[in-house]
Structure 1
Amino acid sequence: MLVNLKNRYIILFFLIFCFLSCAKKDNDAPVISIISPVENTSYQLPASIVIRGNVIDDHNINNIKINIVDENQSPISTEINITIDSFEYQFEESFQINERLLNSGTYYVNVKAFDEENNLSSSYRSIQISEIPRVLKSIYFLTQGHFFTYLYQLTVGNGFVITENIHSITGNFQKSISNSRHEYIFVGTENVGNAFEHEFFTDLWMINPSLSPYNYFTGLHLTDLGNQLHVVSGDGEIKTFNKNGQITNTIYAAQQEWFGEVVFDDDFIIGEVFSSLISRSIVVLNRNSGAENQRFQNIGEVVKIGKLSDDICYVVNQYQNNMQLKKYSISTNNYWLEYEFPNCNVYDAFYKDNLLFLATDLGFLRFNFNTMSLVNLNGQYPFHNLKYEDISGLFYLTSGSKLCIFDEVNNALNTFDLNDTLTDILLHYNK
């Protein structure tokens, strides 16, 4: 009897084992239903995006994850992870999206659900996001005196202007630039290069100038949407800094040469190098390695160089007392004169829509590359600095202590006397 009972238990355990082994494994993933937002709902940033829906499973749901991603599956929100111990769950989560650098486009609500067997299901719902509009936040100007450079904030009203001294940097002014994307201002003086944030003007990082035969800060350029700051220095180097002030690349001029005005494109640095005041050339360098591709001798001094097309650069050249407007072809290494204006000294230039606007000692000039014509828009003052505000279409020009504002059809709107000589104007945006 004991033997038979033992055999019966063995058979029973064997049958239970077979039953469990043959039981169907759960291979079915949870089912997700996104109720809100509906497909292609539009949002204007900053926005609150509420995601509602439910998840069901024939067994227990383990957890769900909810976030918002771009077309490359990169998240633009914090992921919410909810632990669940149920076969059904209704969710409602709110996401605050206020990233100022987020671009307009198609984005996706993404909900993932996992059951206890780690079966995964994922559901997407496309939404349309409109970016935070770009706006001008602040206008700054710089002056110098008593071995200090002073930064002022400028508020322009209906026929009046308010100035406020908000920061000072040791040393006489050399160059400055505003980086709206990463929210800092950089000012280079004979003593220091200082990057500081624009709200409370707290120092972020600094550059200590080395000895050089010319001004150390001879050029400042932003590329890659402001992610890179290129500092052209009087010791014959172009250093590239990231937003944290770390050097990511250095380009060296040839021995006994220095850099003048330059322009950056995706592949090259095109600009002027010189070994003396009269020995100057236009060169094309590889943007990453600094290897020289070609050069062409230049007579005179380059005041401004920029791109007209992928291949053609415009060159504003000062030859003795004559302003010259030239073109340079990267592909053919040809350099030629387009227009010459005698007895005119040019200090700054801005290119837009085949028009070249020029700050000169004869006034505010405009050259049309289509008609090859030069017009003096305003000859009341000699102008030295020129900035274009692309949202309002206003030009800001300096003449000594005067700030002159013109609209896009070049009507003089206002002239303000700010008492001190203006060394530069900075336009700072929200992004």
Structure 2
Amino acid sequence: MKTHFIAIGGSAMHNLAIALKDKGYQVTGSDDAIFEPSKSRLEKKGILPEEMGWFPEKITPDIDAVILGMHAHQDNPELAKAKELGLKIYSYPEFLYEQSKTKTRVVIAGSHGKTTITSMILHVLNFHQKDVDFMVGAQLEGFDCMVKLTQDNDFMVLEGDEYLSSPIDLRSKFLLYQPNIALLSGIAWDHINVFKTFDDYIEQFRKFVASITPGGVLVYNEEDAEVVKVVENAENYFRKIPYKTPEYDISNGKVHLKTEMGDIPLSVFGAHNLLNLEGARHICHTLGIMDEDFYEAIMSFKGASKRLEKVEREDKGVLYKDFAHAPSKVKAAVKAFCEQFKNEKKYGFLELHTYSSLNPVFLEQYDHAMDGLDEAVVFYSEDALKIKRMEPISPDLIKEKFKNENLRVFTNAEELHAYWNTLNKAQGVYMMMSSGNFGGLDLTK
């Protein structure tokens, strides 16, 4: 099969391209910019475009599938050529469905926790050498590529994202998967550039639950009121399996899960991660993994990439980085950090740089998000606001919305870096929350 990727360099797209190459497909692609690690990984597989840009001449009648990434625009010249030739154009999730429609599809959805839960499930299955197809949004220890597609596997585990499928397909990605088994971890308003109201956002999850195949299974977080409402109001038939935070304690800096089989030591921490773990356990149970086997495997799970991930520093200081930027994720990460290190001086840094997090209306969602930290810092770039054509935001407004007068607020990367350099990282513990890089801050030094 001959496939061509428009915007091959994306974190999701390049993994799919590599998976198809490994499956024996003929793969080509284009992009106007490709960064690491995508660049090296594509080059290693021999599918890195020779030059950057869009080339309509690459689109030929013998292409079986054109896969369109979100990075491309509606007026992309390669897309126009594909339409002109009448080629089959797929979004990323649409193509994944085509690859998995004869399999049992397990889809993990929710505003937060879905990457970690998917990673936990894959870790357990890999530990017990149970082979499945999969797609997950973060790099996971023990896995070379975060997409796997085979002819023979019976199951496919998919991280289900509620964001848009492609520039020409404005459905939420997870609506294309039609799960046989699903999990819903939580609902907290996000992506306000697309979903203008909270109800519009919730509607995507209503549709997701409605897309579960007849007689399927839904594992859901019964501690989330919005999730419970969506599940209770669903009209389609499926089996419902609720889950909640399990009992645990912290001793000598180690989290122990309390089970009927005794205390299970874990390598992750935080109530939200214990909640994620419980959801993963129920999904694994539906896949034939007994509790004893689940606990044996999960003890060695160290977390998904950039989810409360410990950074090895030259000075041996204790520092964690977390992908958290949405309010619910920030609150969960801060709570976990404060609980784990209650006897240490705690520094928390948050970078606001997404469209949502820089929107004054949405900033209301961050109320008390940094409470419990001894030193709380918020950074956002005034230049980023200009690039996004958004109105200026004052540091006083940030303090007001966070309901925290003691916040240190920086709008200039150089000033943030100067403050960072005054801190003795060997004293106290640090957490850096962002999907960016704090203006180029090196967290290892």
Same fold (TM over 0.5): no
Normalising TM by the smaller chain, what interval?
A: under 0.3
Structure with the larger strand share? 1
Structure with the larger helix share? 2
Compute the TM-score of the two structures, normalised by the length of structure 1.
0.23
Q: Which protein has the larger Cα radius of gyration, Structure 1 or Structure 2? A: 1
Name the structure, 1 or 2, with higher relative contact order (CA <8 Å, separation 6+): 2
